[in-house]
Amino acid sequence: MNAKQFHWLEIAEFVALGAAVISLFGAIAVDNFLFPLIFVTLALILNSLNRLRSQYLNRKGLASTKKQLQHLFQQIEELITTIPQPTPTPPPTTARDTDSRAIARLKDNLISIEQSLNGVVQYLNSQGLPERIEQLEKYYGRLTQEMRDLITQLEIPPKETQPTPNRSDFGDLAQSNTDSVVEPVETVVEPVETDGESPEPPPQPAASLDFLQSSTKLPIVAPTREVSPAPIIPEWHCLYTLTEHSDAVASLSLSSDGKWLASGSWDQTLRIWDLNEGTLKSQVTAHSQGLLAVVFIGDDGNRYHIATGSFDQTIKLWLFDQEAFTLDLDTTLTQHTGSVHSLALSAQPLLLVSGSYDQTVKQWELPRGQMHCSSYDPLGAIYALAVYAPQSLIVSAGGDGRVTLWQLENGEQIGFLAGNVSSVESLAISKDGQTLAAGCVDGSIKIWQLDPSRFGAGRPLQPVRVLNAHTGQVKALLFSEQEQILFSGGADGYLKIWHPSRREAIAALTMGDPYQPRHTAILSLAFDEQRQLLVAGSADGMMKIWQQISD
């Protein structure tokens, strides 16, 4: 940084400080400290003026960015009103029908950009964070470019003879949707091939603006070229209701063999349950404050290793004896300086990953718990973690809304995912490592398709889907192995189940009477794939275990 980049007030402050230091040496010699005192006082006054100036510039930058985004928002609304409503045409597919579908897709793009801008403006109104000005300005520039591209497309006159889209055209469209924040409205359908003729897609009815605004609950996987089979709508039977916890059940974890369920609660206790019987087998007051995270690490014969994280800023490693039903403290890890909100496990290599309010992601060697490395996120606290060891990937997110990617083992930041400005409360990676879901405080679930070749290279990945899933925070997420079913638990008290081929949740469960107007928030989830057992923990200390009824 050269001298031209400093304001004259800053230069004056540096000069005053320098003069104070020089005069101090002279004052010591002559035993007269009047001049050092004068220069120190002057430096303090200049420091106060520089701080006021910095605050003014930050507020001015935020106001300017918000004004630019609001202006672009108005342009989008004006552009939407100028788009002609397409008239649906009966089959067979014609050039006019193709133009109608193109206009419908453009409208969908505009609605998505409008929603994104609306979220940014609301965020700026509620969170005055100067350090995000540069990021939001880049976001504004990208949206402006997309607006120009859309306007250019709308100004292109329709051609009378337009080729019928073939299979490769739909592949390009799917790829472009993966690279953009815009979510497609229609699920791509496999064209029917005939001998000697190019395959043609079935005609799609033109979508009205009202329909586009209401159809935001989309499938949770990338567009497919094949017809997804209709899912079997599951039925769930409640096996057990557990009420031993006296406060919120913040975290749940299942042992690898499916025998045991561990629950961590704000009542400061760690409890171990027999999942087959729904009975409490062991409990211990684990921390001096409430528990926020619990995870099974592994077993060595009759003993299971469990890790817990708490408001008290510590991580504790426990040994559970399945014969004596005892819980013994093995190790306490104290390197965090903030609440430990999330824990995740990497099996190969064997590492425990922790995310904390102190803005760090730490990796611990097991079984003894030596700290392997620590990564600092300058943008804010860490609320949620997810780990996918085959790709050496750690994903973290928190109060600033940015989803950050870290390297497993060395802790280096390798990139981040774009397209979200809401605080993130939960994360989940699918079992194949291809899909990431983030649960946000605004009730939405953002879905990204993970492409390791694009991590940290050029334009960051944008969401391929946005589900308006809950009213209020999305507190818990997890994927099942079969069909990539997604489970979500929300502050609205609903546990929802999402299938890749459906735009809406295929099932919804509650902890209490489903006909009551209000339900207690669901904070934690666990799922046993083999027996199809679904466990949920709520804010009032209740736990429920459901089993899917098979045909």
Say if residue 176 is in the same domain as residue 275: no
Q: Give the number of domains in the chain.
A: 2
Q: Are residues 256 and 110 in the same domain?
A: no
Q: Are residues 211 and 285 in the same domain?
A: no
The answer as to whether 228 is a domain residue is: no
Percent of the chain with pLDDT over 70: 68
Instruction: Inform me whether the pLDDT recorded for 368 exceeds 80.
Output: yes
Please check whether residue 515 lies inside any domain of the structure.
Answer: yes
Helices 95-126, 133-155: axis angle to 10 degrees equals: 160
Residue with more model confidence, 343 or 454: 343
Range of the domain at 47: 1-186+203-215
Q: Examine residue 306 and state whether it is found in any structural domain, yes or no.
A: yes
Among 402, 417, 293, 416, CA closest to 356: 293
Q: Are residues 351 and 210 in the same domain?
A: no
How many angstroms separate the CA atoms of 364 and 370, rounded?
Answer: 5
Tens digits of per-residue pLDDT, 434-491? Answer: 999 999 999 999 999 998 888 876 678 899 999 999 999 999 999 998 778 999 999 9
pLDDT reported for residue 286: 97
Asked whether residue 308 falls in the same domain as residue 398, the answer is yes
Residue 194, domain member (yes or no): no
- Domain assignment of residue 361, yes or no: yes
197 three-class SS: strand
Q: How far is it, in rounded angstroms, from Cα 221 to Cα 425? A: 21
Domain identity same for 211 and 268: no
Same domain, 240 and 182: no
Q: Is the peptide bond before 36 cis (omega within 30 degrees of 0)?
A: no
Question: Given pLDDT bands bounded at 50, 70 and 90, which one contains residue 180?
Answer: very low
The CATH number linked to 406 is 2.130.10.10
In this structure, is residue 142 part of a structural domain? yes
Q: Rounded CA gap, 478 and 497, in Å?
A: 10
Q: Which of 506, 416, 511, 419 is nearest to 469 (CA)?
A: 506
Tell whether 476 and 534 lie within a shared domain. yes
More confident residue, 427 or 59: 427
Rounded Cα–Cα distance for residues 456 and 213 (Å):
33
What angle separates helix 34-82 from helix 8-30, to the nearest 10 degrees? 160
Evaluate whether residue 404 is within a structural domain.
yes
- 427 and 531 in a single domain? The answer is yes
Closest of 538, 531, 470, 464 to residue 505, by C-alpha: 470
Question: Can you tell me which residue has the tokens 């404050």?
Answer: 289
For residue 74, the model assigns a pLDDT of: 65
Helix (H, G, I), strand (E, B) or coil at 388: strand
26/102 same-domain check: yes
Distance CA 46, CA 9 (A): 7
Q: Which helix (H) or strand (E) is 114 found in, with range?
A: helix 95-126
Domain membership flag for residue 224: no
Same domain assignment for residues 274 and 148: no
Return the structure tokens found at 219. Answer: 């499938």
CA 473, CA 521: separation in Å to the nearest integer?
Answer: 9
Residue 532 pLDDT > 90:
yes
Give pLDDT tens digits for 257-289: 999 999 999 999 999 999 999 999 999 999 999
Furthest-apart CA atoms within the chain: distance in Å: 105
Assigned token pair, 23: 């005069």
Q: pLDDT by residue (tens digit) across 182-237? A: 333 333 333 333 333 333 433 333 333 333 333 333 334 433 334 456 677 888 99
Residues 287, 338 share a domain: yes
